[in-house]
Structure 1
């Protein structure tokens, strides 16, 4: 595997991930202009596999907002395909945070709704089975919000041979660099406890992180991967005592359980960097004051200097619109859900056709500046050709007295994303 990264025991095609959204652009089926698809020959149907319910619902929290915004945008801005203008129909199906269901609804979008293209967002348990369906049916697929390794490496230690699936996100090598940047600013004893679940993300992170962070002088000890839904973390907490650093990638409800039990049992690391679970304001607020200065990766933030290629909105404007309409705090998947529509539109426009092979060819060399930054395939020889890497920063959740929100995610590490402004420096947990 490139970069010396493995998935541990490997990831099966059907069981890779945790949340997704598949979008079907039906204009003319996969046969291109002239062949009537789900919405007719003058309609581009977008099938969106979302996670509206289940344990991964936080990944899909902003999806309804994005769909509403995109429907309004496309109503006034048809997609240009060659010399034709196509209306856009968006069909949303809920994967219910279930791997098997994700594959099934993707199949329905293709076979019942006439999808020309499918997009999916979230962890590997969702995006991988969606991609698998697209590969089996020769339908273009665009996915995001899963590190590229568990998306690409589904069995053994080599990337899958994917023809119709294109993915944009960062990799484990990037998040390891960001985490080390945070650890280096907080005095610690070089010992880290690894909190890794028995799922594709946990297996990939647990297999790769010890080697990726070795140069930082921090040694990760993993007492064993635990099943999602664990209710008693006493064994892990006992093993972690004496470790100043905590690192892991649990699902949100499991980290809430773990961190509350850790405080009750006297485990107090100096720095805790947690992927997945700490992405969402709702998860942080559920912890209350004990969440102050917990750290995580930052894939997208309103302070980033990016703009939508469709609406022209800045990252800040998109976040503000979301908060005004929903009454909720902005969330990181918001930007990537929006970017999926940007990439899909750019690919179909570049192809000049809704033909599956034409869209796939367009994606292989596509470059588009989106609200999450530049997305470009075929530029990085260290990743599979169907992977486009996006930038990554690191942040800490800070409790704000009298602020707009109870907690704010402050960017404290930007070595891999220098265009994203720092909001502060890493601080130790109290």
Structure 2
């Protein structure tokens, strides 16, 4: 009788067959020239679904290179023993095109068409949630990182595990910035989208603000991609909000912030999650002295569980691999996702899903993003520090660490500077 994973596999195969013509181009050979072919049977086949095109392209940039770098370290050390055979790991890459349904479809095709053994994914709930759902249906281990925990854990997971940060840790970073600005009470204007992440932020910040003596001003939810923030900015100005906070996509924040500056209204401190990850986005809108949570930095005191490299050394490899001018906060999470996989495979010594899940359930390891230990809901809460972007006199941008409450061993590199 067929049951369990076998049935899920058959369902996934049928779904993939219906989509094969449409999706064959979505899963390509990786940049190191490795082919997605049947000759990979001697490898542990590692799939990864990330946004390489579309509105989330900036999030996916460099992920393939850093993932391959970490896998190469494992392979160069001899690979891993699974089911009595020593194997190396081979990467198969799928592009979500920044669309949730496409992410799901690509994951399904990789599972059924490429027969990947395990799946990695990252970069916003629009990617990690549908990919994990596809893996749940197929009975495949899925490891994801960097999505807020609450957004990822909206549904139950049996085969999926996540290492990210929760809204409370984001808000604690915001609180550090508010205090550094000398604003210990008053109104907080909250920018939030009408999606799951925006709703989660709004609910959390309302209770959080009340607990710390602040009052919430809600200018209303916006639809991602909107171009008109006039009414919201007017409300923030009328309410004399000393703080503007929220979670926004970089494109939405850029549109909003330009309108904010044009209005002549400047808050004492602006704390926005997600939107301030990338230097080019901050620079494009001139968001000088913007504060945000910092997911990961080369100043973190952790070392790789694969190679022993420091976070600074991982950052240098990122620069070498991507040719970027600065190290993205995503670099550490991209690397850590492979660290997590490495530790699970070492413990399980098998590709059997039950053994893999048993190893994940008991995982307790140090990585370049800190200690990873999954709770009963299959996610690990990672600590954050608080950063501020500063425009330098020479025309460059720097992000400084202004508070390290959650990671005391990460050095503070600058005092808070008030928005001009």
Alignment TM-score > 0.5, same fold: yes
For 2:397, the equivalent position in structure 1 comes to: 407
Match of 2:274 among 273, 276, 280: 276
Unpaired segments ≥5 residues, structure 2: 1-26, 28-36
For 1:359, the equivalent position in structure 2 comes to: 356
For 1:381, the equivalent position in structure 2 comes to: none
For 1:57 and 1:237, the matched residues in 2 are separated by 28
For 1:391, the equivalent position in structure 2 comes to: 383
TM-score between the two structures when normalised by the length of structure 1: 0.85
For 2:405 and 2:59, the matched residues in 1 are separated by 26
- Structure 1 residues 359-368 or 420-429, which shifts more? 420-429
For 1:161, the equivalent position in structure 2 comes to: 156
Give a deviation string over 1:161-190, Cα, whole Å, max 9, x none. Answer: 311011111111111122112111213361
* Residue 148 of structure 1: how far off its partner (Å): 0.8
* Residue 41 of structure 1: how far off its partner (Å): 4.4
Match of 1:211 among 207, 216, 219: 207
| Secondary structure class of the residue paired with 2:91 | strand
2:102 matches 1:107: no
For 2:275 and 2:401, the matched residues in 1 are separated by 17
Q: Which runs of structure 2 are paired with 1:111-126 in the superposition (5 Å)? A: 111-126=112-127
| Secondary structure class of the residue paired with 2:226 | coil
For 1:420, the equivalent position in structure 2 comes to: 410
Q: Which runs of structure 2 are paired with 1:173-322 in the superposition (5 Å)? A: 173-188=168-183, 190-241=186-237, 242-288=240-286, 291-322=287-318
Paired positions, count: 383
TM-score between the two structures when normalised by the length of structure 2: 0.87
For 1:287 and 1:422, the matched residues in 2 are separated by 26
Over 3 Å off, 4+ runs: 37-41
Equivalent residues of 1:79, 1:345 under 8 A apart: no
* Residue 65 of structure 1: how far off its partner (Å): 2.2
Q: Which runs of structure 2 are paired with 1:3-42 in the superposition (5 Å)? A: 40-42=40-42
Unpaired segments ≥5 residues, structure 1: 1-21, 23-36, 154-159, 379-383
* Residue 69 of structure 1: how far off its partner (Å): 1.7
Give a deviation string over 1:185-209, Cα, whole Å, max 9, x none. Answer: 2133611111101222111111221
Equivalent residues of 1:342, 1:370 under 8 A apart: yes
For 2:327, the equivalent position in structure 1 comes to: 330
Give a deviation string over 1:130-179, Cα, whole Å, max 9, x none. Answer: 111111111111111111111112xxxxxx33110111111111111221
* Residue 75 of structure 1: how far off its partner (Å): 4.0
For 2:98 and 2:317, the matched residues in 1 are separated by 26
For 1:322 and 1:162, the matched residues in 2 are separated by 32
For 1:191 and 1:270, the matched residues in 2 are separated by 11
Equivalent residues of 2:64, 2:93 under 8 A apart: no
For 2:162 and 2:320, the matched residues in 1 are separated by 30
| Secondary structure class of the residue paired with 1:304 | coil
| Secondary structure class of the residue paired with 2:357 | helix
For 1:373 and 1:151, the matched residues in 2 are separated by 19
More helix by share: 2
For 1:38 and 1:169, the matched residues in 2 are separated by 34
For 1:321 and 1:76, the matched residues in 2 are separated by 16
Equivalent residues of 2:243, 2:270 under 8 A apart: yes
Equivalent residues of 2:40, 2:90 under 8 A apart: no
Closer/same/farther in 2, CA of residues 126 and 180 from structure 1, 3 Å limit: same
Give a deviation string over 1:218-254, Cα, whole Å, max 9, x none. Answer: 2221121101111121111001111110001111011
